[in-house]
Amino acid sequence: MKSKDNMKKAIILLALASFGLTATAQVGSDQSPQVLNERHSEYIPVAQYWREHNIFQHLDLSVSAGTTGIGVDLASPIGDYVQLRAGFDYMPRFTVKMDFDVMVGDEPARKYDANGNRVETRFDRMQDMLYDFTGVTVDDHVDMLGKPTMNNVKLLVDVFPFKNNKHWHFTAGFYWGPSKFAEAVNTTESMNSLIALAIYNNMYDKAYDHLYGSGTPHYIIEVPDPENPDGPKIGLGMDPSMEKRLVDFGRMGFHLGEYAHDIYDANGNLLHAEGDRYMMEANADNMVIVKAKSNSFKPYLGFGYGGRLVKNRDDWKVSFDAGVLFWGGKPDLILHDGINLTTDIKNISGQVGDYVDLFKKVTVYPTLSIRFTKTLF
């Protein structure tokens, strides 16, 4: 009797073991990972779980226009109340005109009497001299063209906090792009004036060095002998009275303001003390360039309101968004000589000063945009 009972037990154990192996094989052969379904308390495929929880089940294509430029993005839900968006914004290239006034020494190129009439200045007298020497009429200012260069990729998360009202949403994320978001460059028409100014300053430097520097006379120009190119050159110099006049007139440049702090060279030597006048000059290519820079990574916070674009159709939508980009405090305005107008120079006057003051005040970039959306599936 005992032997029959033992045999039955063995058969039952073998059957259970066989069922366990079969179940294990079935689980291993299932291509989809298993996820716990909270409603049914059982394991279901991930794809089914995503369908039931509205995760990546739709794809929206949007185009937008606003203060960050013209944009395009793709969006998909990651739940009933959250949407993930990724896209790219491009700022169209338009220009804004501004100008720098020329200074000769410590005197502006333009001066007026009490009645508003223009009076003769050092610049007016030097203008005639430069025309005789170079054949170029030097303007009393240099025109600049500023333009935005902003381009950014963006990754944003929209949250719809109201269960029965999907019109409102709050957005967080970031924009990322080149640190330079705008630049200003002198116009082509101003190139002749910048070249003439460079010629004058080269003459001034040679005269100053002869009178107060090395004492060695410098030639304005040296011409080789056509018949003996390797022989001695013939130089055209300046007599001391002409050198003295040039030095008394002073260098030509653009007085933008005063140094806001001491400026040192790479070896720690003081170049300019706080309060000294800053005179900007063109670079070696006779160009004046200003670059506006911020952080490449810019966090974003905002909100918006949207709804149907076409009556009785949920696949066409329109939304309005507002927010701010945190671009890392005051942006930098870097000149071609390395001077930062935002931090290194103070008391900047004129139109340039107005732009610099505006940049100093705008520590975050406000955004406004309108977005048109089509549901693809």
* pLDDT tens by residue, 178-224: 999 999 999 998 988 898 889 889 989 989 998 898 888 888 888 88
Alpha-carbon distance of 123 to 311, in angstroms, equals 68
* Residue with the larger pLDDT of the pair 327 and 18: 327
Averaged pLDDT score across all residues of the chain: 84
Considering the chain, what percentage of its residues have pLDDT values greater than 90?
39
Alpha-carbon distance of 261 to 340, in angstroms, equals 12
Cβ within 8 Å of residue 96, ≥6 positions away: 145, 146, 147
Question: 41: which DSSP letter?
Answer: T
Three-state secondary-structure class, residue 314: coil
* Residue with the larger pLDDT of the pair 321 and 359: 321
Type of residue at 117: N
* pLDDT tens by residue, 225-284: 888 878 888 887 888 888 888 888 888 888 889 999 999 988 999 999 999 999 888 998
Please name the helix (run of DSSP H) or strand (run of DSSP E) that holds residue 301, with its range, or none: strand 297-308
pLDDT band, very low/low/confident/very high, at 350 (cuts 50, 70, 90): confident
Residue 47 Cα distances to 34, 82, 355, angstroms = 10, 18, 55
pLDDT of residue 8: 47
pLDDT band, very low/low/confident/very high, at 31 (cuts 50, 70, 90): very low
Radius of gyration of the chain (CA): 36
Alpha-carbon distance of 219 to 235, in angstroms, equals 6
pLDDT band, very low/low/confident/very high, at 38 (cuts 50, 70, 90): low
Alpha-carbon distance of 371 to 208, in angstroms, equals 62
Please name the helix (run of DSSP H) or strand (run of DSSP E) that holds residue 287, with its range, or none: none
- Lowest-pLDDT range of 14-28, 210-224, 325-339: 14-28
Task: Check pLDDT > 80 for residue 28.
Answer: no
**Helices within 185-344 (DSSP H only):** 191-212, 240-249
Residue 75 φ then ψ, to 5°: -140, 145
Alpha-carbon distance of 27 to 25, in angstroms, equals 5
Across the strands, what pairs with 221?
236
* pLDDT tens by residue, 112-145: 888 888 888 888 888 888 888 788 888 888 899 9
pLDDT of residue 17: 42
